[in-house]
Amino acid sequence: MQVVEANGARIPAIGLGTMTLKGDTCVEIVSAALGMGYRHLDTAQMYGNEAEVGQGLKASGLKREDVFLTTKVWHSNLAPADFERTFEESLKKLDLPFVDLLLIHWPNGNVPLAGTMAALCRTAQDKRARHVGVANFTIPMIEEAVRLATVPLVTNQIEVHPYIDQRKVIDTCRKHGLSVTAYCPLARGGVPSDETLKRIGAAHGKSASQVALRWLVQQGLVAIPRTSNKDRLPENLAVFDFTLSEAEMGEIAALRKPNGRLVSPPHAPQWDA
């Protein structure tokens, strides 16, 4: 598995997103994915499936150190005491002594970032999280978080796919040594039917989805596609045996739209222009 290195972390370039996966389905998909070669799992407090992700990890039979596991603290839990309490709950649900990466899931303008960052960094200092980072942070927020952090931040998890222009945010992350983890990499079903991506894929014997994922990893980004279909798991992983040309990379980048963002809940920050 190709990895992305950032401030001391080695993050597998393709991970399994688990949002919306519940119950036995979640356990089965996680275990199956690990059996097929996935080594990166992404969950969150808000997904309500940390226990099932932990069960799927154990069911796989893999050693704990062989799997990179991420969870996230929800935006309503960012006051330091809430952060600490709910992260401990996450560890208990996962039935693990530590996670590989702990993220602030969404910023919260009503909670001072300094206190949240102190709580986040403490989890790395006491080894309950091997690495820490943020998600859905804008350029000013990234700058502030880096300034406040007492341990290196390793990623900003944001929406990235061919239809959204995130170049400025990605450049800011790279300036500070952060990786970028792309959620919704298949644009919530928009990618598979895209004629441009299908045409490029046909030239490589690949699907439109594989082309979109390859476009991300070829830029040095991490992608965490979600699927509840076991048949899709190997397809999403099989993106390391071909290379897109410079012209193809540019053609995919040209698909970006001014209104390409898919995820902007009421608690979202004021996005960068």
- DSSP characters over the chain: --EEEETTEEEESB-EE-TT--HHHHHHHHHHHHHHT--EEE--GGGT-HHHHHHHHHHHT--GGGSEEEEEE-GGG-SHHHHHHHHHHHHHHHT-S-EEEEEE-S--TTS-HHHHHHHHHHHHHTTSEEEEEEES--HHHHHHHHHH-SS-EEEEEEE-STTS--HHHHHHHHHTT-EEEEESTTGGGTSTT-HHHHHHHHHHT--HHHHHHHHHHHTT-EE--B-S-TTHHHHHH--SS----HHHHHHHHTT--TT------TT------
Determine the pLDDT at residue 26: 98
Determine the pLDDT at residue 175: 98
What predicted TM-score, i.e. pTM, was given to this entire model?
0.97
Determine the pLDDT at residue 1: 85
Determine the pLDDT at residue 237: 97
Q: Which residue numbers are catalytic?
A: 47
Residues at the binding site for substrate are 105
Determine the pLDDT at residue 56: 98
The list of the chain residues with pLDDT below 70 reads: none
Beta strand 68-73 with 99-104 is parallel
Homologous superfamily of the 3-188+215-229 domain (CATH): NADP-dependent oxidoreductase domain (3.20.20.100)
Determine the pLDDT at residue 71: 98
Domain ranges of the chain: 3-188+215-229
Determine the pLDDT at residue 273: 84
